[in-house]
Structure 1
């Protein structure tokens, strides 16, 4: 299911640590990881009439090529095919374009990070990849971002799908996500929590007996999903 993974890399702190973690997707059939670095055209010095200078792109490409060498080695040492791609453009558009051209089955993007006030957020590029793309996106929640020590990070990387929360609203998209969840069975999942949140505002408009009826139906649906996962269908 996840034979080919696209990993956009900006050479930030923990980028290679996260890469080492996603090598565990080999357990569910990953055969190739593509490292992609996008030279953000908005950050290039621009000439009023000629646009950006090819010399600047060449220099940044050479730097990126050298930095990607370590990542390529990490992938190949794990027995997975590695490929590197360096492009120039608007990051989220290039990521989606490469994902489409390479026919990847998963994008690993936009690790969570802390803002100046300590809040956790994902970048705008990742938000746009999720919004406009048609490929599943995995957003790593790497423990070191929260100050965890090396041992905690090691345990996380060994089995980051150990316990999974699957919220469902019974939609087609939720069913689609369920099928992907089943595909992660070989990644070391030990427990799945199936959850459904009843709309409080909508339920307030219903008489008590109607609420009980909806609750009963939802519980039956949850039980059905639970049985489906336990039987491995």
Structure 2
């Protein structure tokens, strides 16, 4: 966990993400790349007239000044912070930054859902998750403690999910966190008998671990929806973090034979970390 990228828009929730990243960086001696993407049009960027070029320079300098002020935080003391300002709000550019610096993690703030409003739907956080090739940690609240001792990782235990599980395991081993694997059985979404679930989990563990040592550590819960099953189990397990798998081309958390909507991320009060399948 040596290099962390924090995309910001100078909002309160960006500061939550930055403070979370700072806590992780202090624990693992990580560098933080703080990324702000300007929303400048192609006309301004490629303009040949001096007036438009001056406008582009003005916005760039303004962003750099805001960045300097934003990074003047006591919790960043002793942390190596590198500010990065990009001209375009092109979310796939984050992968270029990831590759250029061999980053391990993206930390991003989100205000989650409020009533019927699904904020991540179409939001910057979802766009980052869709394009990111590395894990994305989404936080919604001012961090009190950033100790991810207990993690719930929900899976459908299919062959497709093995790689994302192994990536998650690698990350949480570095964080010295205990992983609780959970399978949610629902009445209307591919309901399986106990025997079918046992066979599914056994096959998955043989592929992922090479043995069945963790079989008894997998919890099978029944609930009316997969999202609610995950959230309820995380509460019972006393989890500090929920981990989910994503198909980048489709958005957040598409797994379990059908697809999980953005509900887990939107409605969880816990931080959520996503892993691309």
TM-score (structure 2 length as normaliser) = 0.60
| Alignment match, 1:175 | 166
Aligned to 1:159: 146
2-structure distance, mates of 1:47, 1:159: 40
1:166–1:73: structure 2 CA closer, same or farther, 3 Å change rule? same
- Whether the 8 Å CA contact 1:24–1:157 is kept in 2: the answer is no
Alpha-carbon deviations, 1:108-146, whole Å to 9, x = none? 23523456854442554332332233111111122xxxx
Q: What is the CA deviation profile of residues 94-116 of structure 1, one whole-angstrom value per residue up to 9, with x for unaligned ones? A: 32222222221111235234568
Q: How does 1:45-84 map to 2 (within 5 A)?
A: 53-74=52-73, 77-84=76-83
Larger radius of gyration: 1
Cα distance in structure 2, aligned partners of 1:3 and 1:168: 27
Which of residues 166, 172, 195 is equivalent to 1:213? Answer: 195
Q: What TM-score comes out, normalization by structure 1 length? A: 0.70
Secondary structure in structure 1 of the residue aligned to 2:10 = coil
CA–CA distance in structure 1, aligned partners of residues 144 and 186 of structure 2: 35
Cross-structure match for 1:96: 95
Question: Which aligned segments of 4 or more residues in structure 1 are displaced greater than 6 angstroms?
Answer: none
Across the two proteins, how many residue pairs are aligned to each other? 204
The match for 2:214 among 192, 203, 224 is 224
Matches within 5 A, 1:103-114: 103-114=102-113
- Cα distance in 2 for partners of 1:226, 1:24 equals 33
SS at match of 2:24: helix
Indicate whether 1:34 and 2:25 are aligned: no
Do the aligned residues in 2 keep the contact of 1:6 with 1:104 (CA within 8 Å)? Answer: yes
8 Å contact kept, 1:164–1:192: yes
Shift of 1:54: 1.9
Distance 1:62 1:49, change over 3 A: closer
Q: Once the two structures are superposed, what CA deviation does each residue of 1:45-79 show, in whole Å capped at 9, x if it has no partner?
A: 75997599221221111111112124444388432
Which shows bigger deviation, 172-181 or 59-68? Answer: 172-181
Give unpaired runs (5+ residues) of structure 1: 143-152, 205-210, 229-233
State the distance in 2 between where 1:115 and 1:226 align: 38
Structure 2 unaligned residues grouped into runs of 5+: 206-211, 219-277
Please name the residue that 1:126 is paired with. Answer: 125
